[in-house]
Amino acid sequence: MMSYLPLIFTCALFAGKVEGRVTWNRTKLESFQPGVATTTSTPPEQDCPGGYSLVGDKCLLFVTFVAEPYGEARQFCHAAKGELAAITTAADFKNTIDYIHANGLSGTSFWLDGSDEAAEGVWVTSSGEVVPLGTPFWAAFPNGQQPDNAHENEHYLCLSSSWFLYMNDASSSAIINFICEATIRKKTASAALAPFGPSAVGGRVSCPVLFIEIGGLCLMFVTWAEETWEDARRACAGASAELLAITDVEVFRALYLYIHQDNLSSHAFWLGGTDLASEGTWVYTTGEPVPMGTPFWGLYAGSASAQEPDGGTNQNCLAITGEGYFNFRDYSCASKFNPLCVYTG
Protein backbone atom coordinates (compact mmCIF):
# COMPACT_ATOMS: atom_id res chain seq x y z
CA MET A 1 0.00 0.00 0.00
CA MET A 2 2.76 2.44 0.93
CA SER A 3 4.19 2.23 -2.58
CA TYR A 4 1.13 4.12 -3.87
CA LEU A 5 1.64 7.13 -1.62
CA PRO A 6 4.30 8.92 -3.72
CA LEU A 7 1.78 9.03 -6.55
CA ILE A 8 -0.42 11.29 -4.45
CA PHE A 9 2.17 14.01 -4.40
CA THR A 10 3.73 13.57 -7.86
CA CYS A 11 0.85 12.84 -10.24
CA ALA A 12 -1.78 15.25 -11.51
CA LEU A 13 -4.80 13.14 -10.63
CA PHE A 14 -7.61 15.61 -10.93
CA ALA A 15 -9.07 18.14 -13.34
CA GLY A 16 -9.63 21.79 -12.48
CA LYS A 17 -12.16 22.92 -9.92
CA VAL A 18 -15.51 24.53 -10.53
CA GLU A 19 -16.54 27.73 -8.81
CA GLY A 20 -20.05 28.33 -7.49
CA ARG A 21 -21.91 30.49 -5.05
CA VAL A 22 -25.36 30.71 -3.54
CA THR A 23 -27.05 33.80 -2.17
CA TRP A 24 -30.43 34.02 -0.49
CA ASN A 25 -32.81 36.46 1.17
CA ARG A 26 -35.93 36.03 3.25
CA THR A 27 -38.22 34.91 0.42
CA LYS A 28 -36.20 33.71 -2.51
CA LEU A 29 -33.20 31.49 -3.07
CA GLU A 30 -31.04 32.38 -6.07
CA SER A 31 -28.41 29.99 -7.37
CA PHE A 32 -25.56 31.07 -9.62
CA GLN A 33 -23.51 28.64 -11.73
CA PRO A 34 -24.35 25.40 -9.89
CA GLY A 35 -21.28 23.37 -9.06
CA VAL A 36 -18.66 22.73 -6.47
CA ALA A 37 -18.37 25.51 -3.92
CA THR A 38 -14.61 25.85 -3.99
CA THR A 39 -11.99 28.45 -4.75
CA THR A 40 -9.20 28.74 -7.28
CA SER A 41 -6.81 30.17 -4.67
CA THR A 42 -6.83 28.66 -1.21
CA PRO A 43 -6.70 31.24 1.60
CA PRO A 44 -3.97 30.60 4.19
CA GLU A 45 -6.47 29.58 6.87
CA GLN A 46 -7.79 26.83 4.57
CA ASP A 47 -4.57 25.19 3.40
CA CYS A 48 -4.84 21.54 2.36
CA PRO A 49 -1.93 19.09 2.59
CA GLY A 50 -0.12 18.17 -0.61
CA GLY A 51 -2.22 15.98 -2.90
CA TYR A 52 -5.52 17.02 -1.29
CA SER A 53 -8.05 19.33 -2.96
CA LEU A 54 -10.30 21.89 -1.29
CA VAL A 55 -13.88 20.78 -1.98
CA GLY A 56 -16.33 23.06 -0.23
CA ASP A 57 -14.68 23.40 3.17
CA LYS A 58 -13.07 19.94 3.16
CA CYS A 59 -9.62 18.75 2.10
CA LEU A 60 -10.30 15.62 0.06
CA LEU A 61 -8.16 13.11 -1.79
CA PHE A 62 -10.01 11.02 -4.41
CA VAL A 63 -8.02 7.79 -4.59
CA THR A 64 -8.79 6.40 -8.04
CA PHE A 65 -5.49 4.66 -8.80
CA VAL A 66 -6.03 1.81 -6.33
CA ALA A 67 -9.12 -0.01 -5.01
CA GLU A 68 -9.21 -1.61 -1.56
CA PRO A 69 -11.57 -3.28 0.92
CA TYR A 70 -12.91 -0.94 3.60
CA GLY A 71 -10.28 -1.68 6.26
CA GLU A 72 -7.35 -1.31 3.89
CA ALA A 73 -8.84 1.90 2.49
CA ARG A 74 -8.87 3.35 6.01
CA GLN A 75 -5.24 2.30 6.53
CA PHE A 76 -4.27 4.02 3.28
CA CYS A 77 -5.95 7.25 4.40
CA HIS A 78 -4.17 7.06 7.76
CA ALA A 79 -0.83 6.71 5.96
CA ALA A 80 -1.80 9.77 3.90
CA LYS A 81 -2.31 11.70 7.16
CA GLY A 82 -6.08 11.54 6.91
CA GLU A 83 -9.19 9.42 7.43
CA LEU A 84 -11.93 8.22 5.12
CA ALA A 85 -14.07 11.23 4.22
CA ALA A 86 -17.02 11.93 6.52
CA ILE A 87 -20.12 13.46 4.91
CA THR A 88 -22.52 14.80 7.52
CA THR A 89 -24.22 17.76 5.80
CA ALA A 90 -26.20 18.11 2.60
CA ALA A 91 -23.80 20.79 1.37
CA ASP A 92 -20.80 18.47 1.88
CA PHE A 93 -22.66 15.76 -0.03
CA LYS A 94 -23.52 17.98 -3.00
CA ASN A 95 -20.03 19.50 -3.14
CA THR A 96 -18.52 16.02 -3.27
CA ILE A 97 -20.93 14.78 -5.95
CA ASP A 98 -20.38 17.91 -8.05
CA TYR A 99 -16.60 17.48 -7.81
CA ILE A 100 -16.86 13.84 -8.88
CA HIS A 101 -18.89 14.80 -11.95
CA ALA A 102 -16.68 17.79 -12.80
CA ASN A 103 -13.61 15.56 -12.80
CA GLY A 104 -15.03 12.69 -14.87
CA LEU A 105 -15.23 10.22 -11.97
CA SER A 106 -18.98 9.49 -12.03
CA GLY A 107 -18.40 5.85 -13.01
CA THR A 108 -16.41 5.23 -9.82
CA SER A 109 -17.70 4.00 -6.45
CA PHE A 110 -16.02 5.31 -3.28
CA TRP A 111 -15.76 4.25 0.35
CA LEU A 112 -16.71 6.92 2.91
CA ASP A 113 -16.30 7.05 6.69
CA GLY A 114 -19.37 5.38 8.19
CA SER A 115 -20.54 2.10 9.67
CA ASP A 116 -23.32 0.45 11.67
CA GLU A 117 -21.13 -2.51 12.62
CA ALA A 118 -21.41 -1.70 16.35
CA ALA A 119 -25.21 -1.40 16.36
CA GLU A 120 -27.39 -2.37 13.40
CA GLY A 121 -29.09 0.68 11.94
CA VAL A 122 -27.08 3.19 13.99
CA TRP A 123 -24.73 4.76 11.46
CA VAL A 124 -21.76 6.71 12.80
CA THR A 125 -18.36 7.83 11.54
CA SER A 126 -15.10 6.62 13.06
CA SER A 127 -15.08 9.76 15.25
CA GLY A 128 -18.62 9.11 16.51
CA GLU A 129 -20.48 11.67 14.39
CA VAL A 130 -23.96 10.70 13.25
CA VAL A 131 -24.17 9.70 9.59
CA PRO A 132 -27.38 11.36 8.37
CA LEU A 133 -30.09 9.02 7.10
CA GLY A 134 -32.82 9.57 4.53
CA THR A 135 -33.09 12.08 1.70
CA PRO A 136 -31.06 13.53 -0.01
CA PHE A 137 -28.21 11.24 1.05
CA TRP A 138 -29.25 7.59 0.59
CA ALA A 139 -30.42 5.88 -2.60
CA ALA A 140 -34.23 5.76 -2.72
CA PHE A 141 -36.48 3.71 -4.99
CA PRO A 142 -40.29 3.60 -4.94
CA ASN A 143 -40.08 0.26 -3.10
CA GLY A 144 -37.54 1.27 -0.46
CA GLN A 145 -34.60 3.38 0.63
CA GLN A 146 -31.08 2.42 1.61
CA PRO A 147 -29.55 1.30 3.92
CA ASP A 148 -31.26 -2.11 3.84
CA ASN A 149 -28.52 -4.60 4.82
CA ALA A 150 -29.86 -6.79 2.03
CA HIS A 151 -27.23 -9.51 2.44
CA GLU A 152 -27.03 -9.21 6.25
CA ASN A 153 -23.37 -8.17 6.17
CA GLU A 154 -23.61 -4.67 4.67
CA HIS A 155 -22.30 -2.45 7.44
CA TYR A 156 -20.05 0.06 5.66
CA LEU A 157 -20.76 3.28 3.81
CA CYS A 158 -20.02 3.97 0.16
CA LEU A 159 -21.08 6.13 -2.77
CA SER A 160 -22.43 3.73 -5.39
CA SER A 161 -21.74 4.58 -9.03
CA SER A 162 -24.49 2.18 -10.16
CA TRP A 163 -26.93 4.18 -8.02
CA PHE A 164 -25.91 7.61 -9.30
CA LEU A 165 -23.51 8.23 -6.39
CA TYR A 166 -26.13 8.08 -3.68
CA MET A 167 -25.09 6.49 -0.38
CA ASN A 168 -25.34 2.73 -0.01
CA ASP A 169 -24.41 0.11 2.57
CA ALA A 170 -21.88 -2.50 1.45
CA SER A 171 -19.84 -5.40 2.76
CA SER A 172 -16.40 -4.41 4.05
CA SER A 173 -14.85 -6.92 1.62
CA ALA A 174 -16.00 -5.00 -1.47
CA ILE A 175 -12.98 -3.69 -3.38
CA ILE A 176 -13.64 -0.13 -4.54
CA ASN A 177 -11.95 3.26 -4.65
CA PHE A 178 -12.18 5.67 -1.74
CA ILE A 179 -12.01 9.28 -0.59
CA CYS A 180 -9.64 10.44 2.15
CA GLU A 181 -10.11 13.60 4.19
CA ALA A 182 -7.33 15.56 5.86
CA THR A 183 -7.74 18.07 8.66
CA ILE A 184 -8.37 21.62 7.54
CA ARG A 185 -7.56 24.49 9.86
CA LYS A 186 -10.91 26.18 9.38
CA LYS A 187 -13.95 23.90 9.38
CA THR A 188 -17.64 24.61 9.70
CA ALA A 189 -18.96 22.94 12.84
CA SER A 190 -22.21 20.98 12.61
CA ALA A 191 -24.52 19.77 15.34
CA ALA A 192 -25.97 16.34 14.63
CA LEU A 193 -29.70 15.75 14.88
CA ALA A 194 -30.12 12.00 15.36
CA PRO A 195 -31.09 10.00 13.47
CA PHE A 196 -31.20 12.26 10.43
CA GLY A 197 -28.15 14.49 10.99
CA PRO A 198 -27.65 18.28 10.96
CA SER A 199 -30.66 20.49 10.36
CA ALA A 200 -30.99 23.89 8.74
CA VAL A 201 -34.44 24.35 10.31
CA GLY A 202 -35.31 27.26 12.48
CA GLY A 203 -35.45 30.82 13.55
CA ARG A 204 -33.96 33.12 10.94
CA VAL A 205 -36.92 35.08 9.54
CA SER A 206 -40.41 36.17 10.56
CA CYS A 207 -43.21 34.66 8.46
CA PRO A 208 -46.92 35.53 7.97
CA VAL A 209 -49.68 33.48 9.58
CA LEU A 210 -49.92 29.92 8.13
CA PHE A 211 -46.33 30.11 6.88
CA ILE A 212 -43.46 28.41 8.69
CA GLU A 213 -39.78 29.33 8.38
CA ILE A 214 -37.71 26.49 6.96
CA GLY A 215 -34.20 26.97 5.67
CA GLY A 216 -34.63 30.76 5.58
CA LEU A 217 -37.83 30.61 3.51
CA CYS A 218 -41.46 31.13 4.55
CA LEU A 219 -43.37 28.00 3.51
CA MET A 220 -47.04 27.01 3.68
CA PHE A 221 -48.01 23.34 3.56
CA VAL A 222 -51.57 23.29 2.18
CA THR A 223 -52.43 19.90 3.68
CA TRP A 224 -56.17 20.61 3.72
CA ALA A 225 -56.52 20.62 -0.09
CA GLU A 226 -55.40 18.38 -2.95
CA GLU A 227 -55.09 20.13 -6.29
CA THR A 228 -53.80 19.62 -9.81
CA TRP A 229 -50.49 21.36 -10.48
CA GLU A 230 -52.14 24.37 -12.17
CA ASP A 231 -54.74 24.72 -9.41
CA ALA A 232 -52.01 24.37 -6.78
CA ARG A 233 -50.17 27.26 -8.38
CA ARG A 234 -53.33 29.38 -8.27
CA ALA A 235 -53.89 28.44 -4.62
CA CYS A 236 -50.42 29.70 -3.74
CA ALA A 237 -50.93 32.91 -5.72
CA GLY A 238 -54.02 33.65 -3.62
CA ALA A 239 -51.77 33.72 -0.54
CA SER A 240 -49.13 36.02 -2.10
CA ALA A 241 -46.98 32.97 -2.72
CA GLU A 242 -45.68 30.68 -5.45
CA LEU A 243 -45.10 26.94 -5.63
CA LEU A 244 -41.75 26.27 -3.97
CA ALA A 245 -38.58 26.30 -6.07
CA ILE A 246 -35.76 24.29 -4.46
CA THR A 247 -32.29 25.00 -5.80
CA ASP A 248 -30.23 24.70 -2.61
CA VAL A 249 -29.53 21.28 -1.13
CA GLU A 250 -29.52 22.54 2.48
CA VAL A 251 -33.05 23.91 1.99
CA PHE A 252 -33.97 20.52 0.51
CA ARG A 253 -32.60 18.73 3.57
CA ALA A 254 -34.28 21.16 5.98
CA LEU A 255 -37.60 20.58 4.21
CA TYR A 256 -37.20 16.80 4.45
CA LEU A 257 -36.47 17.03 8.18
CA TYR A 258 -39.46 19.29 8.83
CA ILE A 259 -41.82 16.98 6.94
CA HIS A 260 -40.80 14.08 9.18
CA GLN A 261 -40.66 16.08 12.40
CA ASP A 262 -44.17 17.48 11.82
CA ASN A 263 -45.68 14.11 10.80
CA LEU A 264 -46.37 15.15 7.20
CA SER A 265 -44.72 12.14 5.58
CA SER A 266 -48.06 10.70 4.40
CA HIS A 267 -48.59 13.75 2.17
CA ALA A 268 -47.45 14.50 -1.38
CA PHE A 269 -46.53 18.06 -2.34
CA TRP A 270 -46.35 19.95 -5.60
CA LEU A 271 -43.23 22.01 -6.30
CA GLY A 272 -42.95 24.72 -8.94
CA GLY A 273 -41.00 22.71 -11.53
CA THR A 274 -42.22 21.66 -14.97
CA ASP A 275 -40.98 20.73 -18.43
CA LEU A 276 -44.28 21.52 -20.16
CA ALA A 277 -42.68 24.20 -22.34
CA SER A 278 -39.88 21.96 -23.59
CA GLU A 279 -39.74 18.22 -22.89
CA GLY A 280 -36.72 17.41 -20.75
CA THR A 281 -35.91 21.04 -19.89
CA TRP A 282 -37.06 21.45 -16.31
CA VAL A 283 -37.58 24.99 -15.02
CA TYR A 284 -39.38 26.52 -12.07
CA THR A 285 -42.21 28.99 -12.45
CA THR A 286 -39.67 31.59 -11.26
CA GLY A 287 -37.60 30.92 -14.39
CA GLU A 288 -34.81 29.21 -12.45
CA PRO A 289 -33.57 25.85 -13.76
CA VAL A 290 -34.54 22.81 -11.71
CA PRO A 291 -31.31 21.14 -10.51
CA MET A 292 -30.93 17.72 -12.11
CA GLY A 293 -29.37 14.46 -10.98
CA THR A 294 -28.00 13.53 -7.55
CA PRO A 295 -28.73 14.59 -4.80
CA PHE A 296 -32.16 15.87 -5.87
CA TRP A 297 -33.85 13.34 -8.17
CA GLY A 298 -34.83 9.85 -7.03
CA LEU A 299 -34.14 6.47 -8.59
CA TYR A 300 -36.27 3.74 -10.07
CA ALA A 301 -35.54 0.13 -10.92
CA GLY A 302 -36.04 -1.39 -14.36
CA SER A 303 -33.69 -3.79 -16.11
CA ALA A 304 -31.04 -1.58 -14.49
CA SER A 305 -31.25 1.24 -11.98
CA ALA A 306 -32.15 4.57 -13.58
CA GLN A 307 -32.78 8.10 -12.37
CA GLU A 308 -35.83 10.30 -12.55
CA PRO A 309 -37.36 12.07 -14.43
CA ASP A 310 -38.65 9.16 -16.48
CA GLY A 311 -42.26 9.96 -17.41
CA GLY A 312 -41.73 11.56 -20.81
CA THR A 313 -44.56 13.68 -22.14
CA ASN A 314 -47.06 12.08 -19.74
CA GLN A 315 -45.38 13.36 -16.57
CA ASN A 316 -44.43 17.02 -16.79
CA CYS A 317 -44.78 18.39 -13.26
CA LEU A 318 -42.52 18.13 -10.23
CA ALA A 319 -43.56 16.77 -6.85
CA ILE A 320 -42.11 15.24 -3.70
CA THR A 321 -44.05 12.35 -2.16
CA GLY A 322 -43.80 10.01 0.78
CA GLU A 323 -43.81 6.97 -1.48
CA GLY A 324 -40.90 8.53 -3.37
CA TYR A 325 -38.98 9.31 -0.16
CA PHE A 326 -39.36 13.03 -0.95
CA ASN A 327 -36.81 12.96 -3.73
CA PHE A 328 -37.76 14.90 -6.87
CA ARG A 329 -40.00 12.86 -9.19
CA ASP A 330 -42.08 13.73 -12.25
CA TYR A 331 -45.84 13.17 -12.23
CA SER A 332 -48.82 13.89 -14.42
CA CYS A 333 -49.83 17.51 -13.94
CA ALA A 334 -53.41 16.26 -13.49
CA SER A 335 -52.44 14.36 -10.33
CA LYS A 336 -53.86 15.84 -7.15
CA PHE A 337 -51.32 16.68 -4.44
CA ASN A 338 -51.03 19.27 -1.68
CA PRO A 339 -49.60 22.66 -2.73
CA LEU A 340 -46.30 23.64 -1.09
CA CYS A 341 -46.08 27.43 -1.28
CA VAL A 342 -43.25 29.89 -0.64
CA TYR A 343 -44.20 33.40 0.44
CA THR A 344 -43.20 36.09 -2.05
CA GLY A 345 -45.02 39.06 -0.51
Domain chopping of the chain, boundaries: 2-182, 212-343
Q: Please tell us whether the domain made up of 212-343 is placed in CATH 3.10.100.10.
A: yes
What's the pLDDT tens digit per position in 16-53? 333 332 222 223 333 323 333 333 333 445 689 888 99
- What distance lies between CA 92 and its chain's CA centroid? 8
pLDDT recorded at residue 50: 86
Whether the ω angle into residue 309 lies within 30 degrees of 0, i.e. cis, is yes
What's the pLDDT tens digit per position in 269-296? 999 999 999 999 999 999 999 999 999 9
CB atoms within 10 A of CB 259: 21
pLDDT recorded at residue 7: 44
The answer to whether the CB of 168 falls within 8 A of the CB of 294 is: no
pLDDT recorded at residue 33: 33
pLDDT recorded at residue 90: 98
pLDDT recorded at residue 151: 85
Residues of the chain where predicted confidence (pLDDT) is lower than 50: 1-44, 187-195, 197-203
Q: What is the DSSP string of 197-215?
A: -----S-SS---TT-EEET
Superfamily name and number for 2-182: Mannose-Binding Protein A, subunit A (3.10.100.10)
Question: pTM for this structure?
Answer: 0.81
